[in-house]
A and B are shown apart, each in its own frame.
Chain A
Amino acid sequence: MLTDMQTLELIKQGYDKAVKPIQHRIIICAGTGCVANGSLKVFAALKKEVEANGLTAVVTLEECNEGQIHLSKSGCQGFCQMGPLVTVEPEGILYVKVKAEDAAEIIKTTLIDKSKVERLLYVDPAHGQVCHTQKEIPFYAQQKRIELGDCGYIDPEDIREYIARGGYYAARRAYAKMTAQQVCEEITASGLRGRGGGGFPTGKKWALTLQQKSDKKYVVCNGDEGDPGAFMDRSLMEGNPHRVLEGIMIAGRAIEADFAYVYVRAEYPLAVERVRKAVEDARALGILGADVFGSGMAFDCEVMEGAGAFVCGEETALMASIEGQRGMPRPKPPFPAQSGLWGKPTVINNVETLACVPLIITNGPGWYRECGTQGSPGTKTFALTGHVANTGLIEVPFGSTLRKIVFDIGGGVTDTTGEIDPDAFKAVQIGGPSGGCLINEHLDYPLDFDTVKKIGAMVGSGGLVVMNNKTCMVQIAHFFMRFTQNESCGKCIPCREGTKQMLLLLEQIMEGKATAKTLDTLQTLAEAVQKGSLCGLGKTAPNPVLSTLNYFRHEYEAHIFQKRCPAGACKALAIPEISAELCKGCGFCAKKCPVGAITGERKQPHKIDADKCIRCGACAQACKFNAVAGV
């Protein structure tokens, strides 16, 4: 048991000793994306090949001998689009899109011949440059991976490796050397702000909770990441669970709580498993328990699976869910700091926020403020998706520009065929269904909590969806509205009924059934829902509508007044056209048209009367020359 202050050092020494004789370490990304692409098969194949070449493969570092090959799985490395990813250390060679069949060549060429498998190296599509290591790849080179740093490297299931890389030293410092007040002050000085969406200063939240007098206090780690396409928290929980746990412990020290709940989405089974294992391993070593680092203070932790509702990411609903109640938000105040879980003062922080904490305690608030902006220090992870060349998980300092993210890290905007098109950029949806869109004029804007809020969007939990010019913004608003409408808990009128009506109004617009009044009603309703809803879900649900109305009102108007979808994406508004070049004038389409909308002289190109056309597509099916387009 870890009562001795020196134990962490002993574990580190033991680990370092065990690792020393290792000749090579092969790290296979076992994040969800890579696993889905077969990285576990790659792992098995590599192990087999190592042994086939007369080398010894070790998976767990118990007793290692000279020259052995250490095969380890890591959490998500972020470059999901290029997965499965395989890194060979100490050279740092990164192979991308590796298949099990490549294993033999990788082992022979890299380990035996001490060379590289050129065809598996990443080639930067923009410059055609071959990248040998992670550092050379623009996707990584432009990032600053502090929170995610160890995520794609260490073995998330080996607590010793975490300790060997400096883990739990911050917790030890907080428990053994610092007062609760000091911990709060350090975090306040660092300027760390909540990563769950609101951006509330973490240190201030802790200090408020510390002030509360109570026999019991709780820390809750919010791992109920629910934004569609966002997976920052999952990556941390899967890739570096001990960092999250250490952050939780420090939060407990800061508010003088002795118990924490980690609330993880049930749809993240691997994250649940990893965090559970982390808790068990920490408990086995005495890091968690009745006497944390000889401080006389107790701390323990329980992992709870979520109830499968987006709204449970809202803090009061989340706590209700832990209590076994229906996951519905309640009015605030009282805030959780005053009356949270079971009526006790509670600090509730997002996974990413907590993962920053050990780094700040270790390196100091000054170090943390070295990057980021004055108001939003540090870095932020984003899930970059949509019409962009490099999708994946990225981390950049606050204050980075959208241009850097989309064009340098993301490698540029792609068209409908997936090719990079320098002119295709239309917008970026930031902050998921609660966020808003950023457009051309925001490309060189430094992004942080406050600047994004000023534009009418929010950093949110960090979803970034890049959209090209073939994207209909009404559809985007509809997409997110459908999500929030489905996920509304049904408690308050504006959110329950308002999201449903906004969805119906958007459908009317997309189907060309809207009138000038629809737009007014939509805007008025969106504003009422935003101001009047009970919780954050409802208050932010209209953001995609208001934001697209603000920047793309002309698209809405085109749908309504000209019955036209400028992006050509709304099916109901598509008007079929007959290509004069391809039409042979056979008249077959005119015969098939049920409403007589097609006219034309024989052997002459025919025409479709848009007013009569009911967009059934019979003409396109009938045409043998593919002359009908647009249905």
Chain B
Amino acid sequence: MNTNGTNEPIILNGQPVVINGQKNLLELIRSAGIELPTFCYHSKLSVYGACRLCIVEIDGMGVVTSCSTVPTPGMVVRTHTDQLRKMRRIFLELLLANHHQSCTTCDKSDSCKLQELARQMGVTDVRFPSIPKDMQADTSSPSLVRDPNKCILCGDCVRACSEIQGIGAIDFAGRGATTVVAPAFNKDLGEVDCVNCGLCASVCPTGAIVPKSEIEDVWKAVNDPNVTVVAQIAPAVRVALGEMFGLEPGVATTGRIVAALKKIGFDKVFDTSFAADLTVLEEATEFIERKTLGKKLPLFTSCCPGWVKYAEQYYPELLPNLSSCRSPQQMFGSLAKTTLPDQLKVKPEQLYVVSIMPCTAKKFEAKRPEFRGPAGADVDAVLTTQELGKMIKQAGIQFHKLTPESLDMPMGFKTGAGVIFGTTGGVSEAVLRYAHEKLTGTRLENPDFTDVRGNTGILSKTLRIGDIYLKLAIVHSLSNARKIADQVKAGNCDYDLIEVMACPGGCVAGAGQPVSEGGEVVQQRAKGLYEADKTLQLHKSQDNPYIQQCYQTTLEKPGSHKAHEMLHTEYNSRKRLCGSAINLSEGSGDGKLNVSVCVGTGCYLRGSQTLLTQLLDTAHTKGIDDKLHIKATFCFEACTKGPTVKVGDTIIEKCDLKTATREIDSQLKVRV
């Protein structure tokens, strides 16, 4: 039944097609098995109507775009008249004339929608003169490369960033033929509010935004006889890589991935799911402590680096609510760099850790200064699923002919809980499998918490575990995260645990995954992960014997001091000029005490500049400048209470020289 209450169908190319609740004609035509070409229509984004390729002819209406037309009963629609075919061809020719046609060397060459449609529509010749383009590619981001020369201005990235992620890091600038998609004020992507989720790249039909490749770095390490290269494979990778080799989405190819990596020259291949098991124990311990001791709740998960940066940018006041746990990638990196040199009998600086991730933000995460140890970065390179597929192809490995091999021990051993991390709801379910046993003291027979599975943007559930009620929210996409974070900020919700994933659907839908149309493909990959969980012998992280062993040998117990040092971290507000602190005096001694003086306008007007000079002088005369790291910084968001000074973790408002020196002295005393 349609809205008019009749069952009258539309007439599509002479045949009746029944309207079945489709919101626009394009969806209806697709449901009838006809795939209309389009660049700018995405079912999850607002209708934009710019590419004009999904045009149809409707009796009485003429040529209209089907994406923006509501189907009405009796409508007589044609999809491939001569006129329409000619028009589509002209529009594609116009795009090609204005396209940087470096197709053979383009990263997107094998998955470019422009190429595909031009071929499908029979464009064999471009009638129009080529319009040369020579804009600078933006390589500033650690995760993405933006090449405006290849942009066809379909606006998918712009809408994805603002509508799904609620960020708007890029938008249209300029007018007419000089229109470009760019960050505000033509800044570089690396300097704006981009959280590196790469959703823009996954919706981009051409090579205008692509994940930044680290393939060459990895080849270099692999081919260096003095370097031992180890890999960690994220859960979502195993159920998607096969797509690049003609397999169905969701088919787990873990064994073949191991075989391929070994053939490429990796020395050891481990599983990020092992680290995910570790994350479960750490995060659940933190959660139970907060819950039982009445500490700060809700607890937000922190596995997703897109979400973490988002929170640092827009919700610095909620940072204490973020789990201090590092993500599985970084737990693995830290553990690998600490324990593997001994196990593999190599020097720490000879160990090279590569993670294979479904995600572009992981590239950014691996480069965060917090995750650098004495031997450099904990994770040296991050390859996306796509990049691994490309490396396999570059090495000439016949993926479908590979004999599966097993992951290396001990960090290749995982439970099902560590595998389901790769889909939305997975982290929560894994934590629940641990928390249940911990809180009730009884063994959990059925590990499945199907209540927290599903694909709604915000899933809210209250579960009873023993005598305790837990209220959970499982959120994916950052615009949904914003809704929940606003509620938490306003104090009008009582969640205990909130899982946030930036990508709609979780990691299986990450921007590093093989190019797909999304939707069903993502569901199939998620299904693949739940099946992998089922086929494993163990389903609860606490049952992983190697995790237990790891605690015995290295980490003591969940939440221990040692575990905190290696597996936890802290976050910084990025709301104001973050990362732009000016180092003024950096002592050479170990364990320097950080002293930051705000020189933002509000504090400056209240005399912070003078205070800063006095502090530098005093430190010098007292001879303690070797123990201090004095920085000029921007805005603690307490402008009316300035000057603001931060000594260690203590923030002093309305600070003067006397208060500051007293605090410095007392903190230095504790350190000694």
A→B interface (CB under 8 Å): 309, 326, 328, 330-333, 485-494, 496-501, 504, 517, 521, 524-525, 528, 531-534
CB of B606, distance to nearest CB on chain A (Å)? 34
The verdict on A330 contacting B49 (CB below 8 Å), with A497-B177, A500-B131 known, is yes
Q: Is the Cβ of B177 less than 8 Å from the Cβ of A532?
A: no
Q: Is the Cβ of B68 less than 8 Å from the Cβ of A331?
A: yes
Q: Is the Cβ of A488 less than 8 Å from the Cβ of B97?
A: no
In the complex, identify which listed stretch (B86-94, B194-202, B250-258, B622-630) lies at the interface while the others stay far away: B86-94
**8 A Cβ contacts from B415-429 to A:** none
Our pick among B65, B97, B176 for the contact of A485 (Cβ within 8 Å) is: B176
- Residue of B with least CB distance to A529: B90
**8 A Cβ contacts from B91-114 to A:** 91, 94-95, 97-98
The verdict on A534 contacting B52 (CB below 8 Å), with A326-B171, A490-B174, A521-B128 known, is yes
Instruction: Report A-chain residues with C-beta under 8 Å of the C-beta of B68.
Output: 331-333
Instruction: Report A-chain residues with C-beta under 8 Å of the C-beta of B86.
Output: 524, 528
- Residue of A with least CB distance to B92: A493
**Can you list 20 A-B contacts (CB < 8 A)?**
A309-B175, A331-B47, A331-B67, A332-B68, A486-B175, A490-B178, A493-B51, A493-B52, A494-B94, A496-B177, A498-B90, A499-B176, A501-B128, A524-B90, A525-B90, A525-B128, A528-B91, A532-B63, A532-B90, A534-B49
CB of B518, distance to nearest CB on chain A (Å)? 23
Report which residue of B97, B129, B176 has the largest number of chain A beta carbons within 10 angstroms of its beta carbon. B176
Our pick among A488, A504, A521, A534 for the contact of B176 (Cβ within 8 Å) is: A488
Distance A137 CA – B131 CA, assembled complex (angstroms): 53
The verdict on A490 contacting B90 (CB below 8 Å), with A326-B172, A521-B127, A532-B55 known, is no
Our pick among A309, A492, A501 for the contact of B50 (Cβ within 8 Å) is: A492
Instruction: Report B-chain residues with C-beta under 8 Å of the C-beta of A486.
Output: 175-176
CB of B217, distance to nearest CB on chain A (Å)? 38
- 6 shortest interchain CB distances as A-B pairs: A490-B179, A331-B68, A331-B49, A497-B94, A488-B176, A528-B90
Q: Is the Cβ of A491 less than 8 Å from the Cβ of B129?
A: no
**CB of B153 closer than 8 Å to a CB of A:** yes
CB of B173, distance to nearest CB on chain A (Å)? 9
Instruction: Report A-chain residues with C-beta under 8 Å of the C-beta of B62.
Output: 531
CB of A500, distance to nearest CB on chain B (Å)? 5
CB of B66, distance to nearest CB on chain A (Å)? 11
Distance A106 CA – B177 CA, assembled complex (angstroms): 54
CB of A331, distance to nearest CB on chain B (Å)? 3
Instruction: Report A-chain residues with C-beta under 8 Å of the C-beta of B65.
Output: 331, 534
Taking A494-B52, A498-B90 as known contacts, 19 extra A-B pairs with beta carbons closer than 8 A to each other, sorted by chain A number, are: A309-B175, A332-B68, A333-B68, A333-B69, A485-B176, A485-B177, A488-B176, A490-B153, A491-B48, A493-B51, A499-B176, A500-B98, A501-B128, A501-B129, A504-B128, A524-B86, A531-B87, A532-B90, A532-B91
- Residue of A with least CB distance to B127: A521
Distance A528 CA – B87 CA, assembled complex (angstroms): 6
Q: Per-residue CB proximity of B22-55 to A under 8 Å, as 1/0?
A: 0000000000000000000000000111111001
**CB of B70 closer than 8 Å to a CB of A:** yes
CB of A171, distance to nearest CB on chain B (Å)? 37
Categorize the interface residue count of chain B: 35 or more
**8 A Cβ contacts from B125-160 to A:** 127-129, 131, 152-153, 155
B→A interface (CB under 8 Å): 47-52, 55, 62-63, 65, 67-70, 83, 86-87, 90-91, 94-95, 97-98, 127-129, 131, 152-153, 155, 171-172, 174-179
Distance A491 CA – B47 CA, assembled complex (angstroms): 13
Distance A331 CA – B155 CA, assembled complex (angstroms): 14
Our pick among B48, B55, B127, B172 for the contact of A490 (Cβ within 8 Å) is: B172
Instruction: Report B-chain residues with C-beta under 8 Å of the C-beta of A497.
Output: 91, 94-95, 97-98, 177
CB of A531, distance to nearest CB on chain B (Å)? 5
Instruction: Report A-chain residues with C-beta under 8 Å of the C-beta of B94.
Output: 493-494, 497-498, 501
Instruction: Report A-chain residues with C-beta under 8 Å of the C-beta of B91.
Output: 493-494, 497, 528, 532
Q: Is the Cβ of B63 less than 8 Å from the Cβ of A500?
A: no
Report which residue of A328, A517, A524, A528 has the largest number of chain B beta carbons within 10 angstroms of its beta carbon. A528
Q: Is the Cβ of A488 less than 8 Å from the Cβ of B175?
A: yes
Distance A487 CA – B179 CA, assembled complex (angstroms): 11
Distance A509 CA – B616 CA, assembled complex (angstroms): 73
Instruction: Report A-chain residues with C-beta under 8 Å of the C-beta of B171.
Output: 326
Instruction: Report B-chain residues with C-beta under 8 Å of the C-beta of A528.
Output: 86-87, 90-91
Instruction: Report B-chain residues with C-beta under 8 Å of the C-beta of A328.
Output: 172
- Residue of A with least CB distance to B55: A532
Q: Is the Cβ of A489 less than 8 Å from the Cβ of B176?
A: yes
Distance A500 CA – B131 CA, assembled complex (angstroms): 9
CB of A560, distance to nearest CB on chain B (Å)? 16
Distance A533 CA – B177 CA, assembled complex (angstroms): 15
Q: Is the Cβ of B87 less than 8 Å from the Cβ of A532?
A: yes
Instruction: Report B-chain residues with C-beta under 8 Å of the C-beta of A521.
Output: 127-128
Distance A471 CA – B105 CA, assembled complex (angstroms): 49
The verdict on A533 contacting B90 (CB below 8 Å), with A485-B176, A486-B176 known, is no
CB of B389, distance to nearest CB on chain A (Å)? 32
- Residue of A with least CB distance to B91: A493
Distance A486 CA – B69 CA, assembled complex (angstroms): 29
- Residue of B with least CB distance to A507: B129
- Residue of B with least CB distance to A328: B172
Distance A524 CA – B94 CA, assembled complex (angstroms): 12
Q: Is the Cβ of A488 less than 8 Å from the Cβ of B177?
A: yes
CB of B62, distance to nearest CB on chain A (Å)? 7
Distance A137 CA – B128 CA, assembled complex (angstroms): 53
Q: Is the Cβ of A504 less than 8 Å from the Cβ of B129?
A: yes
CB of B55, distance to nearest CB on chain A (Å)? 6
Q: Is the Cβ of A501 less than 8 Å from the Cβ of B97?
A: yes
Instruction: Report A-chain residues with C-beta under 8 Å of the C-beta of B179.
Output: 489-491, 496
Instruction: Report B-chain residues with C-beta under 8 Å of the C-beta of A331.
Output: 47, 49, 65, 67-68
Distance A496 CA – B52 CA, assembled complex (angstroms): 12
Distance A331 CA – B46 CA, assembled complex (angstroms): 11
Distance A517 CA – B95 CA, assembled complex (angstroms): 20
CB of B231, distance to nearest CB on chain A (Å)? 43
Q: Is the Cβ of B52 less than 8 Å from the Cβ of A492?
A: yes
Q: Is the Cβ of B49 less than 8 Å from the Cβ of A492?
A: yes
Q: Is the Cβ of A533 less than 8 Å from the Cβ of B52?
A: yes
Distance A149 CA – B71 CA, assembled complex (angstroms): 48
- Residue of B with least CB distance to A488: B176
Distance A492 CA – B176 CA, assembled complex (angstroms): 9
CB of B112, distance to nearest CB on chain A (Å)? 16
Instruction: Report B-chain residues with C-beta under 8 Å of the C-beta of A517.
Output: 127
Q: Is the Cβ of A333 less than 8 Å from the Cβ of B70?
A: yes
Distance A328 CA – B49 CA, assembled complex (angstroms): 11
Instruction: Report A-chain residues with C-beta under 8 Å of the C-beta of B70.
Output: 333
Instruction: Report B-chain residues with C-beta under 8 Å of the C-beta of A332.
Output: 68
Distance A497 CA – B94 CA, assembled complex (angstroms): 6
CB of A538, distance to nearest CB on chain B (Å)? 9
Distance A493 CA – B93 CA, assembled complex (angstroms): 10
Instruction: Report A-chain residues with C-beta under 8 Å of the C-beta of B63.
Output: 531-532
Instruction: Report B-chain residues with C-beta under 8 Å of the C-beta of A490.
Output: 153, 172, 174-179
CB of B509, distance to nearest CB on chain A (Å)? 28
Instruction: Report B-chain residues with C-beta under 8 Å of the C-beta of A534.
Output: 49-50, 52, 65
Instruction: Report B-chain residues with C-beta under 8 Å of the C-beta of A333.
Output: 68-70
Distance A496 CA – B47 CA, assembled complex (angstroms): 19
Distance A501 CA – B91 CA, assembled complex (angstroms): 11
Q: Is the Cβ of A489 less than 8 Å from the Cβ of B175?
A: yes
CB of B491, distance to nearest CB on chain A (Å)? 29
- Residue of B with least CB distance to A486: B176
Q: Is the Cβ of A496 less than 8 Å from the Cβ of B87?
A: no
CB of B22, distance to nearest CB on chain A (Å)? 16
Instruction: Report B-chain residues with C-beta under 8 Å of the C-beta of A492.
Output: 49-52
- Residue of B with least CB distance to A503: B177
Distance A532 CA – B86 CA, assembled complex (angstroms): 11
Instruction: Report A-chain residues with C-beta under 8 Å of the C-beta of B67.
Output: 331
Distance A493 CA – B179 CA, assembled complex (angstroms): 12
The verdict on A493 contacting B127 (CB below 8 Å), with A487-B176, A488-B176, A531-B63 known, is no
Instruction: Report B-chain residues with C-beta under 8 Å of the C-beta of A491.
Output: 48, 50, 153, 155, 179
